[in-house]
Amino acid sequence: MITIDKGSSKPYYEQLILSVKEAILQGILRPGDKLPSVRELAKELLMNPNTVAKAYKVLEMEQTLVTIKGKGTFVKAASDLPRDEVRVGQLKQKLEELVVEAAHLQISEAELINWLQQNYRQMGGNRT
């Protein structure tokens, strides 16, 4: 369900954030599902609990998760949230950087769009 790649140069907490979001997108985690506690997940992934806590905190700030004191951390329903235009802008900037790199590597627009569509479908995008 939630995984990290210890060989990756990406910080563990960022990998955890992405892994949780991916599990939600793929329907593995659904609104209302309870996540392991910080200690449980840290033990399972063999990592520092502070790293897991940091990832959970970011996901709470993004309103992906909600923590209820004494009960645990749960997946929040995305339909209850307005679109976060600040994060949309950040995503657009990342996409611009990706397009520059793709063009530099002589990857065609069609190929890039195909990759995007394939990944979007594989992740369960456009679920309604």
Nearest-10 Cα torsion for 58, 64, 68, 72: -80
Rounded Cα gap, residues 77 and 66, in angstroms? 10
Please write the tens of the pLDDT for every residue from 16-59: 999 999 899 888 999 999 999 999 999 999 999 999 999 999 99
Domain boundaries, the chain: 12-80, 85-122
pLDDT surpasses 80 at 82: no
Rounded Cα gap, residues 77 and 24, in angstroms? 10
pLDDT at residue 115, rounded to an integer: 92
Fold entry, domain 12-80? Arc Repressor Mutant, subunit A (1.10.10)
Q: Are 63 and 24 in contact (CB under 8 A)?
A: no
Q: Which two tokens stand for residue 48?
A: 């520092």
pLDDT at residue 72, rounded to an integer: 94
pLDDT at residue 127, rounded to an integer: 53
pLDDT at residue 44, rounded to an integer: 94
Q: Which two tokens stand for residue 51?
A: 């790293």
